[in-house]
Amino acid sequence: MLDRFRFVPLRLLQSIPVIFGVTVVVFFMVHLLPGNPALAILGQTATPARVASLSHQLGLDKPLWDQYLLFLGHLVQGNLGTSITYQRPVSELVLQAVPITMSLLLFALVLALVISVPLAAVAASAPGRARDLAVRAFTLVGQGMPQFWVGIMLILLLAVKAKAFPVGGYGESALEHWYYLFLPALTLAIAMCPTIIRSLRASTINVLGSDYVGTARSKGAAGVALFRLHVVRNAAIPTVSIIGVNLGYLVGGSLVIERVFAVPGLGSLMINAIFARDFPTIQAVALVVALFVIVVGILTDVVYTAIDPRVDLGSRELA
Amino acid sequence: MTTAVVRASRAMRRPARSRALRPWYRNGILVAGIVIVGLLVLVAVFAPLLSPYDPITQDLNHTLEAPGAHHWLGTDKYGRDVLTRLLYGARIDLRVGFLAVLIPFVVGSVLGALAGYFGGWFDAIVMRIVDVFFAFPFYVLVIVLVFVLGAGESSIYLAIAAVSWVSYAKIMRGELLVAKKQDWVVAARLGGMSHARVLMRHIGPNVLSQALIYAMSDIVMDIMAIVTLGYLGLGIAPPTPEWGSMILDGQEFITTQWAQATIPGLAVVLTSLGLSFLGDGLSDLLTPERRR
Amino acid sequence: MTRSTRLRFTGIAAVATVALAACGGAAGSRASGSSAPVDGGDLTIARAQDIISMDKTTTFDNNSIYVMEQIMEPLFTVSADGTKVEPYLATDYTVSADKLTYTIKLRKGVTFSDGKPLTAADVKFSIDEDTKTGGDGWGFINTAIDQVKAVDDSTVEVKLKYAWAPLLADLSLFSNGIVPNNYGGKTAQEFYQAPVGTGPFVWDRWQKGQYVKVTANKKYWSPKKPHLASVTWTVVPDANTRKLQLQGGQIDVDDTPDWSSFSSMKNAPGINAQTFPSTRMDYISLNQQRQPFQDVHVRRAIAYALDRNAMVKAVLYGNGTPATSLLSPGTPFFDKNAGGATYDVAKAKQELAQSSVPQGFSTSLLIASGNPDQASVAQIMQSELKAIGIDLKITQLDPTANKQARLKSDFDMAMQAWTMDIPDPDEWTSFAVDPAGGSHSSFTYYNNPAVIALNKQAQTEIDNTKRADLYSQLQKTTSEDAYLTYLYYSPYVFAMTDKVKGFAVTPLGNYHLEDVYKAK
């Protein structure tokens, strides 16, 4: 059984060159940004002479290659560098923002599943009928809505008109955090739903039409019991990959959504850092996000392997 | 990750059902897609004939008017007709959406096809690069790149191209891996045909359909990206009418004139609906054996 | 840099001394609330950006400065109308006959929030720390200071290298705010993580990217102040979100709402949308290294072609005035007859006809992306310049890239704004007209020897009447040259719930929260 997970160390090994590539892309892309932090730090009184002096003090006039090696050297020691804007370790800033973005994503995922699973089941129970078409129409519309626009609409309806939720922010206590995160999470969930529903619906129809469900039916399993026992597990398998792939996309989406709702997560941190040209912080956030995507990719395959006894990724990839 | 995506894209395809091959016009979804997208294109092309107003000329004496007989959707804060800007906005968003797909489609497909066909070290290098780019969420790269390149139309093309070529490369590589083992391909090679000819004559047309279908959904994603960039103030420079910046402008008045932010959003929804239909219909048409 | 900053403050001398004489020694009170203040409560102010640092010596960011001013106080402070200097932690001072030695008496009974009394040693240390940063921080402000000496516990002696009248104005800058000697035994970096001062509020905590919070200083030297129990500045980047939060009672103050929100909140029940005079001017730099801007007729044509009243109406929703001079009305020596161009299409066409490009030309305007005001101005300019045959392309760059382009003079036309840090025109004029100021005359490469000479004369002229005359001439000539296109003067705007009382902002942008309270 555990044999089937032997692909994990290999995949981890394979991600080392990828992570290395990510550092190259991140570093050079960030340093291609026009302007430097000194410009942002010195307000309206900035003159070329003062900018040059501060750049020198910040070590920004060293050759790019040296700066990259320095960055890489620190990184190997687990040091993400020092924020130029705040003059504090970047890790401190990132560690503060990561839990917020992760809670937002997790919350969104839960909401997405709460919405998607029943809808997909309803649709799959009668393919081609009105309720199926209604659900499919919902997914198509959902897919076509820009996320930030959904956010604005939710603010308009649920915060401004209904006054049920705060307009934005993060609150102070743990309970407040979840309350404040509801609307942004719902926004992201709405973006996630269409793909999940489509996948779940298709695979459920597929499973319902397959031989073993027929067998189970003939053996007397029926209705909810049948659904729970056989269909859910098998239909969930492809959906796991879909969610895995989508989480990466969602991290990107949360960047925009955090701005709309003033959520102080990784997205806000990164956008502010871009405006301030706080190179180490942008690098760190991009790196953390990329690592997250890589890890989610591997985790997806682990979960996939765990729930589907037929899958053996190791043998296929090693072949 | 490679495997996950390929599996994912396969899982999205619907199970085969007993539906006989029909002529395209009997395919309801495809027709709906063609009608919606066709209408939008017509609106975009004939926008000047459809509206008596200019989308850019300001009328500072008639700002923020409510919808009425003269201005069906009212005027914005510069006194420009909102409906007119909406119609002209179709020009920008559709054009940029379609054009933005071209570069990644070509570059990604070619690289992916070559990688899949030749395999070996070339494949390894291309796929590692793909993995690196794939590790960044779409918006993270696009936003940073637009900052690097500066706001504007050409930056949008470049930023989107840099990010989305990887998907095409993955799809084409996957298709090629399957196709090159097909009997007729093997036969053609044994018959002395050059690699180039095999790729161009035999494999290309057969495997391109998947990339094409993906391109339809990719246009939707690109239009979303353009609108989002417009919303972040990183998009097409004002005063060019563009739906995203219209939403941004309208958001200021959301409590008093909610339509200003809502309507351009609905235009985006309609556009992507049309494109999704088109994509689904094309997928039915081009790959009947994989019909959902 | 040193030279121009040294000259920078000469002018303020007269103003500062006059003001001090008038004020005697009383602490300035700014409270504008009428009924008896209520104690307690938290004031939440939402702003677009977070603070960056509490290091008073090297921070140029206003959001940070307005917070640190609640914690660390200088010896002198700027008056409510922004034109004078008043004693603060100091009560009195004397100047030696050679004008080289200032002996300053410290206020009695002042303690730091940690309970330690304020002494002359703390003052010496604080000023020396600022001086040390030189050109990389605010140290250039103290260039004239030779040394600071603690005579006894409550007396400080400041020795100057040369006669330097603006000294008190320099000492009123936040960068010369007073902190405990030796940072209370900490390193500078440790200290500024949680700064200690004599101010009305005490550093509490900073959740980066979310909020920064200060609480009332129970040992504050001014009796019965502060009224508030705490102040929280939250970070809300989106102006619309801030407005909705204010209307929903989630926050008390919306710092700088956008103009449309502001105008819509003016009549909203329960909300007090207020303007405060500022020294801000928005203007267009015309790059004379690019064609055809070295032609004065072209520059004048542009100046005449713009309907500034329409701009004020459309962009500021009426909350501002068309700009007519290089100086703003809130700046000393502003001349209201400076002759800045007003809207006149016929004259614009006439000027263009006389120019090197009578048929018009194509050019571009650089603005900051994500700035709705600049986008509005640009769009209005585009349609107005089109009327006289100038084809304007709008280029957007994000604020930092935009600044970079301006510093390299890599633009045709660029929209900019200026606000004063000190109550004297010289800070701005040296930046704007003297190529030696380091900015190539606000990046335009404008170089009029007559104007430069006027500016230099004004820097060294102590007599106020003569100085006013020099600045008048300077304003008139620059208007004729039309080397900058003046757009408009705009005030500071804050929207707050009507429970917030006593909130006032000086023309230099700072506010004193010890006077603020929240009515029940």
Check if C370 contacts B (Cβ < 8 Å).
yes
Q: Give the chain C residue whose CA is nearest to the CA of B54.
A: C383
What does C165-202 look like in DSSP terms, one character per residue? Answer: TTHHHHHTSGGG----GGGGGS-HHHHTTS---SSSEE
CA distance A286 to A294: 12
Structural domains in chain A, sorted by start: 94-275 (1.10.3720.10)
Q: B132 and A21: CB-CB below 8 Å?
A: yes
Q: How confident is the model over C230-242, as pLDDT tens digits?
A: 999 999 888 888 8
* Angle between helix B2-12 and B153-179 (nearest 10): 80
Average model confidence (pLDDT) across chain A: 83
Does residue C496 contact residue C271 with C-beta atoms inside 8 Å? yes
Q: A264 and C241: CB-CB below 8 Å?
A: no
* Token couple for C519: 């009515």
Q: How confident is the model over A38-93, as pLDDT tens digits?
A: 888 877 767 788 888 888 888 888 888 889 998 999 988 888 888 888 888 999 89
Q: How confident is the model over C123-169, as pLDDT tens digits?
A: 999 999 999 887 677 887 787 899 999 999 999 999 998 776 678 87
Which C residues 397-426 touch B at CB under 8 Å?
397-398, 401
Q: Is residue C386 part of a domain?
A: yes
Q: Give the chain A residue whose CA is nearest to the CA of C47.
A: A262
Q: Is residue C140 part of a domain?
A: no
* Token couple for B89: 């906005």
Residue B192: CB atoms within 10 Å: 7
The amino acid at residue C201 is F
Domain that holds residue C361: 278-491
What does B98-132 look like in DSSP terms, one character per residue? Answer: HHHHHHHHHHHHHHHHHHHHH-HHHHHHHHHHHHH
Name the one residue in this structure whose structure tokens are 């637009």. Answer: B146
pLDDT higher than threshold 90 for residue C496? yes
A198 band by pLDDT with thresholds 50, 70 and 90: confident
Q: Is residue C288 part of a domain?
A: yes
Where does C398-438 show beta strands of DSSP type E? 413-418
- pTM to 2 decimal places: 0.79
Average model confidence (pLDDT) across chain C: 86
The values of phi and psi at residue C286, to 5°, are -105, 120
pLDDT higher than threshold 60 for residue C21? no
Consecutive H or E run containing C365? strand C361-368
Angle at B108 between CA B105 and CA B113, to 5 degrees: 115
The alpha-carbon gap from B120 to the nearest alpha carbon of chain A, in Å, equals: 14
Q: A282 and B11: CB-CB below 8 Å?
A: no
Nearest by CB: A293 against B135, B273, B277: B135
Please report residues of C whose CB lies closer than 8 A to that of A85: 52-53
Does residue C133 contact residue C181 with C-beta atoms inside 8 Å? no
Residue C34 has a pLDDT of 53
Residue A99 has a pLDDT of 92
* Token couple for B160: 């989107």
Q: How confident is the model over C419-454, as pLDDT tens digits?
A: 887 777 877 888 899 887 677 888 999 999 999 999
Q: Is residue C372 part of a domain?
A: yes
CATH superfamily, region B25-291? MetI-like (1.10.3720.10)
CA distance C329 to C321: 10
Consecutive H or E run containing C362? strand C361-368
Q: What is the CATH number of the domain that holds C407?
A: 3.10.105.10
CA distance B183 to B206: 14
Residue A229 has a pLDDT of 58
CA distance C34 to C28: 17
Q: Does C226 sit behind a cis peptide bond, omega within 30 degrees of 0 on the bond before it?
A: yes
Check if A167 contacts C (Cβ < 8 Å).
yes
Consecutive H or E run containing A99? helix A90-125
Query: What is the total count of domains within chain C?
Result: 1
Q: Is residue C109 part of a domain?
A: no
Q: Is residue C344 part of a domain?
A: yes
ipTM of the assembly?
Answer: 0.83
For range A290-304, the mean pLDDT: 85
Q: How confident is the model over A88-116, as pLDDT tens digits?
A: 899 989 998 999 999 999 999 999 999 99
Which A residues 175-204 touch C at CB under 8 Å?
none
pLDDT higher than threshold 50 for residue B148? yes
For chain A, list the contacting chains (3+ Cβ pairs, <8 Å).
B, C
Does residue C125 contact residue C182 with C-beta atoms inside 8 Å? yes
Please report residues of C whose CB lies closer than 8 A to that of B75: none
Q: A286 and B276: CB-CB below 8 Å?
A: no
Does residue C226 contact residue C244 with C-beta atoms inside 8 Å? no
DSSP state of A87: -
Comparing A309-318, B19-28, C426-435, which segment has the lowest mean pLDDT? A309-318
Q: Is residue C172 part of a domain?
A: no
Residue C105: CB atoms within 10 Å: 18
Q: How confident is the model over C181-194, as pLDDT tens digits?
A: 999 999 998 999 99
Residue C23 has a pLDDT of 38
Burial readout C337-359 (b: 16 or more C-beta within 10 A, e: otherwise): ebebbebeeebbbbbbeebebee
pLDDT higher than threshold 70 for residue B22? no
For an interface test with B, the pick among C265, C369, C371, C403 (most B C-beta atoms closer than 10 Å) comes out as C369
Residue C268: CB atoms within 10 Å: 16
Q: C235 and A264: CB-CB below 8 Å?
A: yes
Please report residues of A whose CB lies closer than 8 A to that of B292: 202
Which tops the pLDDT comparison, B284 or B138? B138
* Angle between helix A233-261 and B138-149 (nearest 10): 30
Average model confidence (pLDDT) across chain B: 81
Which tops the pLDDT comparison, A13 or C482? C482
Residue A211 has a pLDDT of 64
Q: B60 and C382: CB-CB below 8 Å?
A: no
Q: Is residue C210 part of a domain?
A: no
Nearest by CB: A169 against C250, C400, C408: C250
